[in-house]
Amino acid sequence: MIDFHTHLDLYPNPIHIAECVNARNMFTLCVTTSPRAWLGTSRVFKRHENIIVGLGLHPEIAAVKVNELEQMLAYLLEVKYVGEIGMDGLPQNRATLAIQKAVFTSIVKECAKQNGKIMSIHSRGAVNDVLTILRSNPGAGIPVLHWFSGTKDELRMANDQGCYFSVNPLMLNSTRGVSLIAEMPRDRVLPESDGPFARWRGIPLQPFVAEEVAFGLSRIWRMPSNVILDGFKHTLNKLTSLRF
Ligand code: MN
């Protein structure tokens, strides 16, 4: 099993869930929402070799945590995986868009300066801005657009820019999600849970959704789910073997 975007540190019992995840998943990317959270979480999860803790500064709290930006940029030297970063253009977050953009831009620029990172990116309601910033910093590494919810044109643009996508099982329940998945590049998709934020019938998704995502993709792409699961592994290997 693989989970390429989860907030393990925010489940009610992170120590216990991390042990289960480390045993059951071959790879889990635990993204964090602030550099201070990364510092604490990576210390606690250090002993779990199948869990990687991404260094993040979540766009929805970028304005209140902007004082941690310097710390974020300094810690980048120590990591290969960055996330959760990005921008959120929903109406309730529009007031902070300028600051989100400044924060995201400095992080991406620093990633480029350091020869690239693997970045788990939030782009809800702000795909165009996110793609423009990535395009201006071509050496920033591999962008993995998490829970992509843009338009088909934006998807095509992201695809042309070489983006990867992490697919959430909840995307399988929406017509829009399904139509986007249909056009995603088969060799650049990984599964994600985004738990405990992502919920199904009130219950947080668990970090074990790779098969569920594979079953969904198998219906949409008309491919056997075991081929899709193998594809996830192949895609993951490509990313983990990259040397930045
Ligand atoms: Mn998330």
Q: What was the pLDDT predicted at 197? A: 96
Distance from the alpha carbon of residue 168 to the mean position of ligand 1, in angstroms: 10
Rounded mean pLDDT of the chain? 97
Burial of 63 (0-12, 13-18, 19+ CB in 10 A): middle
Q: What was the pLDDT predicted at 115? A: 94
Q: Are 107 and 71 in contact (CB under 8 A)?
A: no
Domains identified in the chain, total number: 1
Angle between helical axes of 127-136 and 97-113 (0-180°, round to 10): 30
Q: Is the pLDDT of residue 243 over 90?
A: no
pTM, two decimals, is: 0.97
Distance from the alpha carbon of residue 218 to the mean position of ligand 1, in angstroms: 24
Q: What was the pLDDT predicted at 39? A: 98
Distance from the alpha carbon of residue 197 to the mean position of ligand 1, in angstroms: 7
Q: What was the pLDDT predicted at 23? A: 97
What's the rounded mean pLDDT across residues 7-21?
96
* Enclosing domain of residue 201: 2-240
Q: What was the pLDDT predicted at 135? A: 98
Distance from the alpha carbon of residue 83 to the mean position of ligand 1, in angstroms: 9
Distance from the alpha carbon of residue 157 to the mean position of ligand 1, in angstroms: 22
Q: What was the pLDDT predicted at 75? A: 98
Distance from the alpha carbon of residue 121 to the mean position of ligand 1, in angstroms: 9
Q: Could you report the per-residue pLDDT of 148-200, keeping only the tens digit for each?
A: 999 999 999 999 999 999 999 999 999 999 999 999 999 999 999 999 999 99
Distance from the alpha carbon of residue 43 to the mean position of ligand 1, in angstroms: 20
- Print the SS3 string covering the chain: CEEEEECHHHCCCHHHHHHHHHHHCCEEEECCCCHHHHHHHHHHHCCCCCEEECECCCHHHCCCCHHHHHHHHHHHHHCCEEEEEECCCCHHHHHHHHHHHHHHHHHHHHHHHCCCEEEEEECCCCHHHHHHHHHHCHHHEEEEEECCCCCHHHHHHHHHCCCEEEECHHHHHCHHHHHHHHCCCCCCEEECCCCCCCEECCEECCCCCHHHHHHHHHHHHCCCHHHHHHHHHHHHHHHHCCCC
Q: Are 73 and 65 in contact (CB under 8 A)?
A: no
Please state, in angstroms and rounded to a whole number, the distance separating the CA atoms of residues 58 and 48: 24
Distance from the alpha carbon of residue 14 to the mean position of ligand 1, in angstroms: 16
Q: What was the pLDDT predicted at 22? A: 97
Please state, in angstroms and rounded to a whole number, the distance separating the CA atoms of residues 5 and 51: 11
CA 134 to chain centre: 15
Of all residues in the chain, the percent with pLDDT exceeding 90 is 99
Q: Could you report the per-residue pLDDT of 200-209, keeping only the tens digit for each?
A: 999 999 999 9
Q: What was the pLDDT predicted at 100? A: 98
Q: What was the pLDDT predicted at 244? A: 79
Distance from the alpha carbon of residue 7 to the mean position of ligand 1, in angstroms: 7
Distance from the alpha carbon of residue 6 to the mean position of ligand 1, in angstroms: 6
Contacts of 46 (CB under 8 A, 6+ apart): none
CATH number, domain with residue 74: 3.20.20.140
Distance from the alpha carbon of residue 139 to the mean position of ligand 1, in angstroms: 24
Distance from the alpha carbon of residue 58 to the mean position of ligand 1, in angstroms: 8
Please state, in angstroms and rounded to a whole number, the distance separating the CA atoms of residues 126 and 122: 9
Among residues 55, 53, 48, 54, which one has the least CA distance to residue 21?
48
Q: What was the pLDDT predicted at 43? A: 97
What's the rounded mean pLDDT across residues 134-142?
97
pLDDT bucket at 73, cuts 50 / 70 / 90: very high
What's the rounded mean pLDDT across residues 71-93?
98
Of all residues in the chain, the percent with pLDDT exceeding 70 is 100
Distance from the alpha carbon of residue 194 to the mean position of ligand 1, in angstroms: 5
